[in-house]
Structure 1
């Protein structure tokens, strides 16, 4: 049921509690006071009512339309709105300047997996996290061998066994251990049956964070070792 007579937040306030006048625009990610374009009241299969707002960002450099959906609950004086979701989906993208210098592909793929997880696509985001780790490892190996004249870059790019590649090309045992275990969990996300039943997406992300941490620590140590030669 469309309720087009509501075209401003003051009218919404008179009917509902829990209306958030200021929004985090999912397009430009700025806190804005949006313009209310339209709203619609609908019901799901269980007769639960929802209110969806069509909003326009007030940031002059954005001005995009987006949706906010609320569940409607019966209150004492007014109906109460409970936030459900927004579209496009707003999520905190992973950013790291140092990691981006090693692998822009990792940043892109990891954030795609993170967005999939944010909107509830839990059956596919694990495979995305595992793929992002493969790109990070291969790009890291290429990065640390930039000045190695005998280095075979195509062998790294085409390698099908990333775990074997890690053990062959990376000397840091902490990176090797964290990456190997991350691939174990990541592979579970792509297989019909799981080997590690007590591990989940958060464990996979934790292990990827460990890999990143030890990679960054190695690069920092190498940098100071080069600068502080006697």
Structure 2
């Protein structure tokens, strides 16, 4: 059967099109430019597998992107649809305090690769990436604090490295808890069942924050003092 028979072109203002669109939770932002919008609706593609694809156009003059809002049929007699995802989806990059970039560029790269995986809904693997990013952050910070112990820090398990080479109590407290949750992401049985990926990311962000604070404190302490 020709694909054209499964496509309905929309005029956005006819009674039939308005009634048809009422069955869908319509997008109110552009997944490409991330702005709040009232999109223009171009067509609906009725697929065979209980999915429908609504082709939209972003009206923002700087964007003007086309994107699909993909729906899946709700398991009910009403035959209504729920919004499943958008495609394409512009990937966001996580930004960190300026002090972190020269300290651990590998942490930045690994964290953002995990962040891309999360945005692609690969939730079962992105936690492993966040855990790896955390290890680079902690070990790079330990190397900055104790450059004479470079080989020991590289080989040492992360938990031991944290206890031996990180002295700031706030960094140690947040990083230790982040390690616990990061380890849960790599193990068959979860220990912290009440915590999830959001908690892991929060703890990593707190660790990053307290590390950046130590650099700021050191900077102003060295630059400003009385003779």
So what's the TM-score if we normalise by structure 2?
0.73
> For residue 184 of structure 2, what is the aligned residue in structure 1?
188
Question: What value does the CA root-mean-square deviation take over the aligned residues?
Answer: 3.6
Residues of 1 paired with 2:222 and 2:55: CA distance? Answer: 56
Residues of 2 paired with 1:195 and 1:151: CA distance? Answer: 36
* Contact 2:111 2:130 (8 Å CA) reproduced: yes
- Which deviates more, 183-192 or 33-42? 33-42
| Structure 1 pair 153–13 and aligned structure 2 pair: CA distance change class (3 A) | farther
Residues of 2 paired with 1:135 and 1:10: CA distance? Answer: 55
The CA deviation string for residues 39-85 of structure 1, in whole angstroms up to 9 with x for no partner, is: 312354xxxx5431234556677665432113567xxxxx9764331
Shift of 1:108: 3.2
Report the number of matched residues.
217
* Contact 2:131 2:179 (8 Å CA) reproduced: yes
| Structure 1 pair 42–182 and aligned structure 2 pair: CA distance change class (3 A) | same
* Contact 2:33 2:90 (8 Å CA) reproduced: no
Give 3-state SS (helix, strand or coil) of 1:27's partner. Answer: coil
So what's the TM-score if we normalise by structure 1?
0.72
Give 3-state SS (helix, strand or coil) of 2:136's partner. Answer: helix
Runs of 5+ unmatched residues, structure 2: none
Give 3-state SS (helix, strand or coil) of 1:151's partner. Answer: helix
Shift of 1:117: 3.4
Aligned mate of 1:9, from 9, 12, 17: 12
Runs of 5+ unmatched residues, structure 1: 74-78
Residues of 1 paired with 2:97 and 2:25: CA distance? Answer: 34
* Contact 1:9 1:21 (8 Å CA) reproduced: no
Shift of 1:135: 1.9
Residues of 2 paired with 1:171 and 1:7: CA distance? Answer: 63
1:18-37 → structure 2 map (5 Å cutoff): 24-31=29-36
Shift of 1:120: 3.5
- Which deviates more, 130-139 or 104-113? 104-113
Shift of 1:227: 2.1
Aligned mate of 2:212, from 210, 216, 223: 216
- Which deviates more, 169-178 or 109-118? 109-118
